[in-house]
Structure 1
Protein backbone atom coordinates (compact mmCIF):
# COMPACT_ATOMS: atom_id res chain seq x y z
CA UNK A 1 0.00 0.00 0.00
CA UNK A 2 1.27 3.48 -0.76
CA UNK A 3 0.45 6.93 0.50
CA UNK A 4 0.20 9.54 -2.27
CA UNK A 5 0.14 13.25 -1.50
CA UNK A 6 1.04 16.63 -2.90
CA UNK A 7 4.74 17.26 -2.37
CA UNK A 8 6.08 20.34 -0.60
CA UNK A 9 9.47 22.09 -0.72
CA UNK A 10 10.46 19.88 2.25
CA UNK A 11 10.33 16.91 -0.16
CA UNK A 12 12.86 18.43 -2.59
CA UNK A 13 15.73 16.12 -1.59
CA UNK A 14 13.61 12.97 -2.03
CA UNK A 15 12.27 14.21 -5.38
CA UNK A 16 15.77 15.08 -6.57
CA UNK A 17 16.93 11.54 -5.76
CA UNK A 18 13.90 9.97 -7.48
CA UNK A 19 14.44 12.04 -10.63
CA UNK A 20 18.13 11.10 -10.64
CA UNK A 21 17.14 7.42 -10.27
CA UNK A 22 14.65 7.80 -13.14
CA UNK A 23 17.19 9.43 -15.44
CA UNK A 24 19.97 6.96 -14.69
CA UNK A 25 17.64 3.97 -15.06
CA UNK A 26 16.81 5.08 -18.59
CA UNK A 27 20.39 6.21 -19.34
CA UNK A 28 19.38 9.85 -19.75
CA UNK A 29 21.96 12.55 -19.16
CA UNK A 30 21.29 14.10 -15.77
CA UNK A 31 22.64 16.44 -13.15
CA UNK A 32 23.53 15.15 -9.69
CA UNK A 33 20.66 14.45 -7.31
CA UNK A 34 21.73 17.41 -5.15
CA UNK A 35 21.41 19.80 -8.11
CA UNK A 36 17.99 18.37 -8.97
CA UNK A 37 16.93 18.70 -5.32
CA UNK A 38 17.90 22.38 -5.32
CA UNK A 39 15.80 22.91 -8.44
CA UNK A 40 12.86 21.11 -6.86
CA UNK A 41 13.20 23.30 -3.76
CA UNK A 42 12.96 26.40 -5.95
CA UNK A 43 10.17 25.11 -8.20
CA UNK A 44 7.90 23.70 -5.51
CA UNK A 45 7.33 27.19 -4.15
CA UNK A 46 5.80 28.34 -7.45
CA UNK A 47 2.01 28.30 -7.82
CA UNK A 48 2.22 26.90 -11.36
CA UNK A 49 4.12 23.78 -10.26
CA UNK A 50 2.47 20.68 -8.79
CA UNK A 51 4.43 17.68 -7.57
CA UNK A 52 3.00 14.47 -6.18
CA UNK A 53 4.97 12.04 -4.01
CA UNK A 54 4.13 8.39 -3.36
CA UNK A 55 5.58 6.65 -0.33
CA UNK A 56 5.57 2.92 0.26
CA UNK A 57 4.38 2.07 3.75
CA UNK A 58 4.40 -1.72 3.60
CA UNK A 59 7.64 -2.11 5.53
CA UNK A 60 8.84 -0.89 8.92
CA UNK A 61 9.30 2.64 7.58
CA UNK A 62 8.08 4.73 4.69
CA UNK A 63 10.25 4.87 1.60
CA UNK A 64 9.88 6.86 -1.63
CA UNK A 65 7.84 4.92 -4.19
CA UNK A 66 7.37 7.41 -7.03
CA UNK A 67 6.51 10.93 -8.05
CA UNK A 68 5.05 13.20 -10.69
CA UNK A 69 5.90 16.76 -11.67
CA UNK A 70 3.32 18.89 -13.48
CA UNK A 71 3.63 22.45 -14.74
CA UNK A 72 0.74 24.77 -15.56
CA UNK A 73 0.83 27.45 -18.23
CA UNK A 74 -1.72 29.95 -19.54
CA UNK A 75 -3.77 28.81 -22.52
CA UNK A 76 -5.48 30.86 -25.17
CA UNK A 77 -8.00 28.20 -26.23
CA UNK A 78 -9.80 27.89 -22.87
CA UNK A 79 -10.08 29.84 -19.60
CA UNK A 80 -7.95 27.63 -17.37
CA UNK A 81 -4.29 26.74 -17.69
CA UNK A 82 -3.06 23.73 -19.63
CA UNK A 83 -1.10 21.26 -17.53
CA UNK A 84 2.01 19.45 -18.74
CA UNK A 85 3.03 16.22 -17.05
CA UNK A 86 6.79 16.71 -17.01
CA UNK A 87 7.77 13.53 -15.18
CA UNK A 88 6.12 10.44 -13.72
CA UNK A 89 8.24 7.71 -12.17
CA UNK A 90 7.69 4.65 -9.99
CA UNK A 91 10.56 2.80 -8.30
CA UNK A 92 11.18 -0.39 -10.34
CA UNK A 93 10.54 -2.91 -7.54
CA UNK A 94 7.16 -1.28 -6.84
CA UNK A 95 5.82 -1.16 -10.40
CA UNK A 96 2.62 -2.95 -11.42
CA UNK A 97 1.05 -2.27 -8.01
CA UNK A 98 -1.11 0.71 -9.02
CA UNK A 99 1.23 3.39 -7.68
CA UNK A 100 1.58 5.07 -11.07
CA UNK A 101 -2.20 5.21 -11.36
CA UNK A 102 -2.49 6.73 -7.87
CA UNK A 103 0.17 9.35 -8.71
CA UNK A 104 -1.47 10.21 -12.04
CA UNK A 105 -4.97 10.34 -10.53
CA UNK A 106 -3.92 12.74 -7.76
CA UNK A 107 -1.96 14.87 -10.24
CA UNK A 108 -5.03 15.14 -12.47
CA UNK A 109 -7.29 15.99 -9.55
CA UNK A 110 -4.94 18.70 -8.25
CA UNK A 111 -4.55 20.43 -11.62
CA UNK A 112 -8.28 20.14 -12.28
CA UNK A 113 -8.84 21.93 -8.94
CA UNK A 114 -6.43 24.63 -10.21
CA UNK A 115 -8.62 25.10 -13.29
CA UNK A 116 -6.76 22.98 -15.85
CA UNK A 117 -9.16 21.17 -18.19
CA UNK A 118 -6.44 19.45 -20.20
CA UNK A 119 -3.15 17.66 -19.50
CA UNK A 120 -0.39 17.11 -22.04
CA UNK A 121 2.19 14.32 -21.85
CA UNK A 122 5.19 13.67 -24.10
CA UNK A 123 6.11 10.01 -24.55
CA UNK A 124 8.81 8.47 -26.72
CA UNK A 125 7.22 6.49 -29.54
CA UNK A 126 9.35 3.42 -28.78
CA UNK A 127 8.20 3.38 -25.13
CA UNK A 128 5.23 1.04 -25.68
CA UNK A 129 4.67 0.27 -21.97
CA UNK A 130 4.40 3.94 -21.06
CA UNK A 131 2.16 4.65 -24.03
CA UNK A 132 -0.16 1.79 -22.97
CA UNK A 133 -0.24 3.14 -19.41
CA UNK A 134 -1.40 6.60 -20.51
CA UNK A 135 -3.81 5.24 -23.11
CA UNK A 136 -5.37 3.07 -20.39
CA UNK A 137 -5.99 6.32 -18.50
CA UNK A 138 -7.74 8.04 -21.41
CA UNK A 139 -4.85 9.88 -23.06
CA UNK A 140 -4.70 9.86 -26.86
CA UNK A 141 -2.31 10.96 -29.58
CA UNK A 142 -5.08 11.06 -32.19
CA UNK A 143 -7.91 13.43 -31.29
CA UNK A 144 -11.50 12.51 -31.99
CA UNK A 145 -12.53 13.42 -35.53
CA UNK A 146 -9.05 13.42 -37.07
CA UNK A 147 -6.92 10.68 -38.60
CA UNK A 148 -3.42 11.92 -37.77
CA UNK A 149 -1.19 11.69 -34.67
CA UNK A 150 -0.11 14.65 -32.57
CA UNK A 151 3.66 15.05 -32.36
CA UNK A 152 5.95 17.00 -30.05
CA UNK A 153 9.07 18.65 -31.45
CA UNK A 154 12.04 19.79 -29.39
CA UNK A 155 14.57 22.38 -30.54
CA UNK A 156 17.12 24.89 -29.33
CA UNK A 157 16.13 28.41 -28.34
CA UNK A 158 19.10 30.04 -30.07
Structure 2
Protein backbone atom coordinates (compact mmCIF):
# COMPACT_ATOMS: atom_id res chain seq x y z
CA UNK A 1 0.00 0.00 0.00
CA UNK A 2 2.97 2.31 0.54
CA UNK A 3 3.52 2.78 -3.20
CA UNK A 4 -0.13 3.09 -4.28
CA UNK A 5 -0.06 -0.12 -6.31
CA UNK A 6 -1.99 -3.34 -6.12
CA UNK A 7 -0.64 -5.76 -3.52
CA UNK A 8 -1.79 -9.18 -2.36
CA UNK A 9 -3.42 -9.55 1.04
CA UNK A 10 -1.16 -10.54 3.93
CA UNK A 11 -2.50 -14.10 3.77
CA UNK A 12 -1.90 -14.34 0.00
CA UNK A 13 1.61 -12.93 0.35
CA UNK A 14 2.43 -15.35 3.19
CA UNK A 15 1.25 -18.32 1.10
CA UNK A 16 3.33 -17.19 -1.88
CA UNK A 17 6.43 -16.61 0.23
CA UNK A 18 6.11 -20.01 1.91
CA UNK A 19 5.84 -21.72 -1.48
CA UNK A 20 8.68 -19.72 -3.04
CA UNK A 21 11.07 -20.14 -0.11
CA UNK A 22 10.97 -23.91 -0.58
CA UNK A 23 12.71 -23.49 -3.95
CA UNK A 24 16.47 -23.83 -4.46
CA UNK A 25 16.49 -20.87 -6.87
CA UNK A 26 15.13 -18.36 -4.34
CA UNK A 27 17.07 -16.49 -1.70
CA UNK A 28 15.61 -14.37 1.09
CA UNK A 29 17.56 -12.21 3.52
CA UNK A 30 15.63 -11.07 6.58
CA UNK A 31 16.54 -8.15 8.86
CA UNK A 32 15.43 -8.21 12.45
CA UNK A 33 15.91 -5.93 15.42
CA UNK A 34 18.84 -7.45 17.30
CA UNK A 35 18.36 -6.20 20.86
CA UNK A 36 16.31 -4.01 23.12
CA UNK A 37 12.64 -3.36 22.69
CA UNK A 38 11.25 -5.31 19.75
CA UNK A 39 14.23 -7.68 19.56
CA UNK A 40 13.59 -10.41 17.01
CA UNK A 41 10.99 -8.36 15.11
CA UNK A 42 11.45 -8.60 11.34
CA UNK A 43 11.85 -5.10 9.92
CA UNK A 44 13.06 -5.66 6.37
CA UNK A 45 13.95 -8.19 3.72
CA UNK A 46 15.49 -8.82 0.35
CA UNK A 47 14.03 -11.37 -2.04
CA UNK A 48 16.21 -12.66 -4.87
CA UNK A 49 15.67 -15.20 -7.62
CA UNK A 50 18.53 -17.11 -9.21
CA UNK A 51 18.32 -18.21 -12.82
CA UNK A 52 20.60 -19.88 -15.31
CA UNK A 53 22.44 -17.75 -17.83
CA UNK A 54 24.47 -18.70 -20.90
CA UNK A 55 27.18 -16.16 -20.02
CA UNK A 56 28.84 -18.04 -17.13
CA UNK A 57 28.47 -21.25 -15.16
CA UNK A 58 26.76 -19.83 -12.07
CA UNK A 59 23.29 -18.29 -11.88
CA UNK A 60 22.28 -14.70 -12.46
CA UNK A 61 20.70 -13.10 -9.39
CA UNK A 62 17.67 -10.83 -9.75
CA UNK A 63 16.86 -8.66 -6.74
CA UNK A 64 13.09 -8.80 -6.89
CA UNK A 65 12.47 -6.69 -3.81
CA UNK A 66 14.33 -5.02 -0.97
CA UNK A 67 12.12 -3.51 1.70
CA UNK A 68 12.74 -1.83 5.04
CA UNK A 69 9.98 -0.58 7.30
CA UNK A 70 9.59 3.16 6.58
CA UNK A 71 10.13 4.29 10.17
CA UNK A 72 13.50 2.49 10.25
CA UNK A 73 14.93 3.67 6.95
CA UNK A 74 18.26 5.55 6.92
CA UNK A 75 19.45 3.44 9.87
CA UNK A 76 21.70 1.12 7.82
CA UNK A 77 19.26 -1.79 7.72
CA UNK A 78 18.88 -1.71 3.93
CA UNK A 79 22.64 -1.50 3.52
CA UNK A 80 23.09 -4.54 5.75
CA UNK A 81 20.45 -6.51 3.87
CA UNK A 82 21.97 -5.55 0.52
CA UNK A 83 25.52 -6.48 1.61
CA UNK A 84 24.32 -9.86 2.90
CA UNK A 85 22.38 -10.43 -0.34
CA UNK A 86 25.48 -9.70 -2.44
CA UNK A 87 27.58 -11.99 -0.24
CA UNK A 88 25.06 -14.84 -0.49
CA UNK A 89 24.71 -14.40 -4.26
CA UNK A 90 28.50 -14.61 -4.64
CA UNK A 91 28.58 -17.70 -2.45
CA UNK A 92 26.08 -19.33 -4.82
CA UNK A 93 28.30 -18.60 -7.84
CA UNK A 94 26.52 -15.51 -9.17
CA UNK A 95 28.59 -13.00 -11.11
CA UNK A 96 25.90 -10.32 -11.45
CA UNK A 97 22.86 -9.02 -9.65
CA UNK A 98 20.16 -7.31 -11.67
CA UNK A 99 17.79 -4.79 -10.10
CA UNK A 100 14.86 -3.08 -11.78
CA UNK A 101 14.14 0.36 -10.33
CA UNK A 102 11.42 2.75 -11.45
CA UNK A 103 13.03 5.79 -13.07
CA UNK A 104 11.12 8.18 -10.81
CA UNK A 105 12.17 6.37 -7.61
CA UNK A 106 15.15 8.63 -7.01
CA UNK A 107 15.72 7.43 -3.46
CA UNK A 108 16.09 3.81 -4.53
CA UNK A 109 18.30 4.79 -7.46
CA UNK A 110 20.61 6.78 -5.17
CA UNK A 111 20.69 3.89 -2.68
CA UNK A 112 21.78 1.32 -5.26
CA UNK A 113 24.25 3.67 -6.95
CA UNK A 114 25.80 4.41 -3.56
CA UNK A 115 26.39 0.65 -3.26
CA UNK A 116 28.10 0.24 -6.63
CA UNK A 117 25.17 -0.57 -8.90
CA UNK A 118 24.85 1.24 -12.22
CA UNK A 119 22.36 1.59 -15.03
CA UNK A 120 25.24 1.50 -17.53
CA UNK A 121 26.94 -1.56 -18.99
CA UNK A 122 30.34 -1.80 -17.28
CA UNK A 123 32.03 -3.00 -20.49
CA UNK A 124 30.62 -0.51 -22.99
CA UNK A 125 29.22 2.34 -20.89
CA UNK A 126 25.95 2.02 -22.79
CA UNK A 127 22.80 2.88 -20.86
CA UNK A 128 20.61 -0.09 -19.92
CA UNK A 129 16.84 -0.29 -20.08
CA UNK A 130 14.30 -2.68 -18.68
CA UNK A 131 11.34 -3.53 -20.91
CA UNK A 132 8.12 -5.00 -19.61
CA UNK A 133 5.07 -6.50 -21.24
CA UNK A 134 2.13 -7.70 -19.23
CA UNK A 135 0.69 -11.03 -20.31
Q: CA deviation at 1:149?
A: 1.4
Q: Name which structure has the greater RCO, CA cutoff 8 Å, separation 6+.
A: 1
What's the C-alpha RMSD, in Å, of the aligned pairs? 1.2
Structure 2 counterparts to residues 14-29 of structure 1, below 5 A: 24-29=1-6
SS at match of 2:29: strand
| Other-structure match for 2:124 | 146
Distance in 2, matches of 1:57 and 1:71, equals 26
Match status 1:44 vs 2:21 = yes
Whole-angstrom CA distance in 1 between matches of 2:134 and 2:105: 24
Q: Runs of at least 4 residues of structure 1 off by over 2 A?
A: 57-62, 144-148
Task: Find the aligned partners of 1:61 and 1:88 in 2 and give their Cα distance.
Answer: 21
Q: TM-score, normalised by structure 2?
A: 0.94
More helix by share: 1
1:124 aligns with 2:102: yes
From 60, 71, 89, give the equivalent of 1:82: 60
Q: Extract unaligned runs of 5+ from structure 1.
A: 1-23
Residue-pair matches, total: 134
Cα deviation, 1:116-138, whole Å, max 9, x if unaligned, reads 11000000001111001000111
Is the partner of 1:116 in helix, strand or coil? coil
